[in-house]
């Protein structure tokens, strides 16, 4: 179970539902390209599906699961033994904060992409390791961005570096969430 702790008196957890995520990889799409056809497993695919929530970071598009309510943020990716390559979970918060995430009973390494309310990547916590299951909660490391974030995109560990994703990258929400949250 991955837990999220907001020091601003809000506690949330990264968790997961047990539903399967479609097999895809981040899809590179030039900015302004129409969303038309389903992607293949190549990260250089020019078009993406028009179904389901999508997050574009520069020219990469990630199909995502949403954690847009307190219950979903608490559940997040907990219980997940894997995350399909090129996909992620997008945490949506009501206001920007310096959230602190902590891992518990997690079985996969993650990259945490912190996104500001200006729809730019403000920080990336790369290769956040999963702890030993016996680690007491008060001894778990905490991960937090350098700047306030309103959104958090969790992807597989190493995918941010492999794809060149970094601070200052523009973020846009597509498909089901286009225009809904300000990005």
pLDDT in tens, 90-124: 999 999 999 988 777 678 899 999 999 999 999 99
Q: Cα(57)–Cα(90) distance, rounded to whole angstroms?
A: 12
Instruction: Taking the CA atoms of 74, 135, 101 and 123 in sequence, report the sign of the dihedral they define.
Output: negative
59 pLDDT band (50/70/90 cuts)? very high
Q: Note the pLDDT of residue 79.
A: 78
Strands 88-97, 60-67: pairing kind: parallel
Question: Maximum CA pair distance of the chain?
Answer: 48
Q: Cα(138)–Cα(79) distance, rounded to whole angstroms?
A: 20
What are the tens digits of pLDDT across the range 76-97? Answer: 887 789 999 999 999 999 999 9
Residue 62's SS3 state is strand
3-class SS shares of the chain: helix, strand, coil, % to 5: 10, 35, 55
Helical residues (DSSP H) of the chain, grouped into ranges: 70-75, 159-163
Arithmetic mean of pLDDT, 20-46 = 38
Q: Note the pLDDT of residue 137.
A: 83
User: What's the pTM?
Assistant: 0.74
């Amino acid at each position: 179970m991955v837990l999220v702790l907001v020091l601003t008196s809000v506690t949330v957890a990264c968790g997961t539902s047990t539903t399967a995520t479609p097999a895809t990889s981040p899809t590179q799409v030039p900015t302004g390209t129409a969303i038309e056809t389903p992607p293949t497993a190549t990260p250089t695919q020019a078009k993406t599906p028009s179904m389901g929530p999508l997050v574009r970071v520069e020219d990469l598009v990630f199909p995502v699961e949403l954690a847009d309510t307190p219950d979903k943020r608490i559940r997040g990716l907990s219980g997940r033994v894997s995350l399909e390559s090129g996909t992620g979970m997008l945490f949506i918060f009501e206001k920007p904060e310096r959230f602190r995430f902590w891992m518990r009973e997690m079985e996969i390494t993650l990259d945490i992409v912190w996104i500001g309310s200006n729809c730019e990547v403000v920080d990336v916590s790369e290769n956040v390791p999963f702890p030993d299951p016996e680690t007491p909660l008060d001894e778990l490391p905490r991960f937090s961005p350098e700047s306030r974030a309103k959104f958090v995109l969790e992807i597989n560990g190493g995918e941010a570096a492999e794809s060149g994703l970094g601070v200052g990258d523009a973020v846009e929400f597509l498909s089901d969430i286009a225009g809904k949250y300000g990005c």
